[in-house]
Amino acid sequence: METATALQIKLEQVTRRAQEQLQMVLEEQSRFGLEIDLDAPKVRIPLIGSEQFVLDLGHFTLHTRDGTRDEERQSLYSRFYIAGRDMAAFLVCDVAEGIYSAPENLSHSVLPGPTADANQFCSLLDRCGMSVIIDQIKVPHPSYPSTRVSFQVPNLDIHFSPKRYCKIVELLGVVYQLKGNNNEESSSYENGNLAPWHPADLAGDARTLVWRGLGYSLAEWHTCHVVLSGMYLYILESELSQNYQRCCSMASRQVFDVPSANVGGSLYSIAVCSRGADIQKALESTSTLIVEFHDEIEKANWMKVLVQATYRAS
């Protein structure tokens, strides 16, 4: 009986000591305040012709304000609030496609007329918002999860129609190709549909630098057909190719003249790489697209058009 009492007292002492140490750690834990307010980007994916799918990620705020200082000391978690608003998804469509459906008895005079550029916005998801709360534990504890996440999403207004369904299928096809399915024969053009690089803003034969060998240590020039369509630069094996070898979005990109000393004496080469990247490091990266043209005039023309494409995509 005395042994059991002594053991219970010892256990209470250990428990009390552990609680005191945990409280001490929480009080001494460094605290910080974070508040970020930013406009999220818009993601554009070109479809057939001049049509585009646009995902507007709206506006986001992130902050850590939560309760009083005493409450923060006693809490096991650091809490982060993420709030988003004005998120939407829509299609920029040709008016002739007739995606909007109207009742037969509705007068044509009340239908929205063509805009100046003969395009209309076709909504898929009306503007909405969401809230996310993330709790990150300050001190690891076996009885508590290290991270807790909770979501709050309001009602979503989703628009759907047969025409919208067709456009969504086209979008999924484009995304599937962008994920790297470039080695399989494409059957999406057998029914007369245009390839993603049509219509072309600029196209021509050129050579592109391809890295081969162990560790991508060997660079070789390969002939190719280059096509700029909208915000995307496509590299094809030839003008008649049914699928592309490489697709490069011009969003967040920079275009620069490549010194001849860096590419084996080539005088008419330009490079496309991530914006803000160091030029010398970019030239050594396999992710940088380096294209060689036939003469100075062709190079200057491509340089001008590609730079304009980076501005349009930004």
CATH number, residue 267: 2.30.29.30
Structural element, H or E, at residue 62: strand 59-63
For 270, the 3-state DSSP assignment is: strand
The pLDDT of residue 270: 94
Asked if residue 171 and residue 39 are part of one domain, the reply reads yes
Name the residue with higher pLDDT: 258 or 108.
258
- In the chain, the percentage of residues whose pLDDT exceeds 90 is 19
Q: Which residues contact 80 (CB under 8 A, 6 or more apart)?
A: 34, 62, 63, 64, 133, 134, 135, 136
Does residue 15 sit within a domain? no
Residues 150, 81 share a domain = yes
Question: Quick check: 58 pLDDT over 50?
Answer: yes
Q: Are strands 218-229 and 232-236 parallel, antiparallel or unpaired?
A: antiparallel
- Of the two residues 286 and 289, the one the predictor is more confident about is 289
The two structure tokens encoding residue 144: 């508590």
125 and 94 together in one domain: yes
CA distance 46 to 35: 35
What does the buried/exposed string (b/e) look like for 263-300 if buried means 16 or more CB atoms within 10 Å of the residue's CB?
A: beebebbbbbbeeebeeeebbeeeebbbbbbeeeeebe
**CB 272, CB 313: distance < 8 Å:** no
Q: Is residue 191 part of a domain?
A: no
Single-letter residue type at 221: W
Domain limits for position 309: 200-313
Q: Is 153 helix (H, G, I), strand (E, B) or coil?
A: coil
With beta carbons less than 8 A apart as the criterion, state whether 248 and 264 touch: no
On the question of pLDDT at 311 being above 60, the answer is: yes
pLDDT for position 108: 38
Q: Mean pLDDT, to the nearest integer, of 103-130?
A: 57
Same domain, 169 and 305: no
- Looking at per-residue pLDDT, the higher value among 289 and 216 belongs to 289
- In the structure, what pLDDT confidence band is assigned to residue 255 with cuts at 50, 70 and 90? very high
Lowest mean pLDDT among 70-79, 130-139, 174-183, 211-220: 174-183
Report residue 19 as tokens: 């609680």
Among 70-74, 79-83, 148-152, the least confident range: 70-74
Q: What share of the chain is helix, strand, coil (3-state, %, to 5)?
A: 25, 35, 40
215 lies in the same domain as 269: yes
Q: Are residues 228 and 259 in the same domain?
A: yes
Instruction: Kindly state whether residues 45 and 161 are assigned to the same domain.
Output: yes
Report pLDDT for 291. 94
Q: Burial-class residue 64 by CB neighbours within 10 Å (0-12, 13-18, 19+).
A: middle
Do both 52 and 156 map to the same domain? Answer: yes
Three-state DSSP class for 281? helix
Average pLDDT estimate for 117-126: 71
Tell the burial category of 129 from Cβ atoms under 10 Å away from its Cβ (0-12, 13-18, 19+). Answer: middle
Nearest CA among 40, 77, 89 for reference residue 62 = 40
Structural domain includes residue 8: no
Number of domains into which the chain is organized: 2
Computed over every residue of the chain, the mean pLDDT equals 77
- CA torsion sign for 88, 42, 180, 195 is positive
Q: Quick one: what percent of the chain has pLDDT higher than 70?
A: 74
In the predicted model, is pLDDT for residue 242 greater than 80? Answer: yes
pLDDT score recorded for residue 2: 62
Q: What is the pLDDT of residues 9-26, one digit of tens each?
A: 777 777 777 766 666 655
**Model's pTM, two decimal places?**
0.45
